[in-house]
């Protein structure tokens, strides 16, 4: 039997949304008094997120952005109330970090109130421009995932009544029927399919011209990770997959996915492209992939940037002959 990549191989990608820089102190979230003490402490730091955009330090150049952390007291008396206050955790110095979620459509916060917090920037821009330190970028990713989740869980899916924020932003409970809702991550598989010599890359019609990436898709209810890899690959490319190995994962806050990175062994070669999903899917040799990484592919093919697990999987194939 041929050897596959090592299980749990460490992939060298940054963690866009896994807030490793903070201690989440999850057990403290349900203690409302303790959370209130943390918020009121002079050392607490609060980040404003308005309409999914975060407040940045003013006056910095585009390539050296930093989050604008303010004291909890500075947000009081601004003429609007944040819709959700989320306790993110404690930083290395033991200081509490919060994010205040403002949705102008609901809170009535106008441009004049929010202008005090400009510039405001969205996560995609910050990620693409690589302007924030990785720790801060990961905090924005987590905050965005939570903000999107809160926005779509204001009412109970069971009885239709309003839900209320609990556990410092990590739970919502229906006031009428008591149903609890917890922030969710949607599992998705993202896979490097190879026959040891070549790997499979495809492009959606929405991609910019010449851009290819590895295949990906959501895990369906009742399905395990391996079967999701096999099903998605067969649906999108008509390739049968045998062995599947886990390589690493990455939270992907668009809106709140968990990307599960896998390697899959191709058992067949002819491609049948599912044109409802993909514009093209092709085999590329390791040499071609190395040219893409170097920006020297003869067709000008471009691949995902370094912040993505997709790129980590492609780099893994380019570097490791066992993949």
**Residues found near Zn ion in the complex (CB under 5 A):** 156, 158-159, 161, 174, 176-177, 179
Torsion of the alpha carbons at 256, 258, 264 and 268, rounded to the nearest 10: -20
Which CB atom, from 128 or from 177, has the smaller least distance to Zn ion?
A: 177
Cα angle 298, 233, 9; round to 5: 80
By the 8 A CB rule, do 292 and 286 touch?
no
Say how far apart CA 194 and CA 320 lie, in whole Å: 12
CB of 174 to Zn ion, least distance (A): 3
DSSP 213: B
CB of 179 to Zn ion, least distance (A): 5
Which CB atom, from 151 or from 290, has the smaller least distance to Zn ion?
A: 151
Count CB-CB contacts under 10 A for residue 165: 18
Which of 15, 95, 81 lies closest to 48, judged by CA? 81
Three-state DSSP at 64 gives: helix
By the 8 A CB rule, do 261 and 151 touch?
no
CB of 86 to Zn ion, least distance (A): 22
Which CB atom, from 18 or from 179, has the smaller least distance to Zn ion?
A: 179
CB of 29 to Zn ion, least distance (A): 22
CB of 307 to Zn ion, least distance (A): 39
Which CB atom, from 81 or from 158, has the smaller least distance to Zn ion?
A: 158
Which CB atom, from 140 or from 174, has the smaller least distance to Zn ion?
A: 174
Which CB atom, from 174 or from 323, has the smaller least distance to Zn ion?
A: 174
Question: φ, ψ for residue 159 (rounded to 5)?
Answer: -125, -10
CB of 31 to Zn ion, least distance (A): 25
Q: Which residues pair with 46 in a beta bridge?
A: 70, 98
Say how far apart CA 188 and CA 202 lie, in whole Å: 17
Count CB-CB contacts under 10 A for residue 281: 23
CB of 177 to Zn ion, least distance (A): 3
CB of 201 to Zn ion, least distance (A): 45
Q: For 258-279, b where at least 16 C-beta lie within 10 A, e where not — what string?
A: bbbbbbbbbeeeeeebeeebbe
Which CB atom, from 154 or from 290, has the smaller least distance to Zn ion?
A: 154
Say how far apart CA 38 and CA 201 lie, in whole Å: 48
Say how far apart CA 37 and CA 56 lie, in whole Å: 26
Which CB atom, from 159 or from 267, has the smaller least distance to Zn ion?
A: 159
């Amino acid at each position: 039997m041929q050897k596959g990549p090592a299980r749990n191989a460490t992939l060298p990608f940054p963690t866009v949304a896994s807030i490793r820089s903070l201690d989440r102190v999850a057990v403290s979230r349900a203690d409302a008094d303790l959370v209130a003490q943390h918020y009121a402490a002079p050392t607490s730091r609060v980040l404003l997120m308005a309409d999914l955009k975060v407040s940045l330090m003013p006056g910095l150049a585009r390539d050296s952005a930093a989050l604008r952390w303010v004291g909890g007291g500075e947000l009081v008396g601004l003429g609007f109330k944040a819709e959700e206050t989320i306790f993110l955790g404690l930083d290395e110095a033991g200081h509490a970090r919060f994010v205040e979620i403002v949705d102008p459509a609901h809170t009535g916060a106008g441009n004049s109130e929010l202008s005090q917090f400009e510039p405001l920037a969205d996560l995609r821009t910050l990620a693409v421009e690589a302007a924030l330190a990785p720790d801060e970028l990961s905090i924005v990713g987590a905050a965005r995932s939570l903000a999107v989740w809160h926005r779509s869980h204001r009412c109970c899916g069971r009885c239709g009544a309003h839900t209320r924020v609990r556990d410092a932003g990590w739970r919502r409970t229906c006031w009428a029927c008591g149903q609890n809702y917890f922030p969710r991550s949607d599992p998705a598989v993202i896979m490097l399919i190879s026959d040891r010599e070549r790997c499979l890359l495809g492009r959606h019609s929405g991609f910019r011209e010449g851009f290819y990436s590895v295949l990906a898709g959501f895990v369906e209810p009742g399905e395990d990770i391996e079967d999701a890899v096999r099903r998605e690959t067969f649906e999108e490319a008509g390739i049968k997959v045998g062995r599947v190995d886990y390589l690493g994962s990455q939270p992907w806050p668009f809106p709140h996915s968990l990307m599960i990175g896998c390697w899959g062994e191709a058992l067949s070669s002819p491609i049948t492209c599912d044109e409802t999903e993909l514009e093209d899917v092709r085999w590329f040799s390791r040499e071609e992939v190395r040219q893409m990484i170097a920006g020297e592919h003869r067709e000008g093919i471009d691949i995902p940037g370094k912040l993505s697990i997709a790129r980590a999987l492609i780099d893994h194939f380019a570097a490791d002959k066992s993949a």
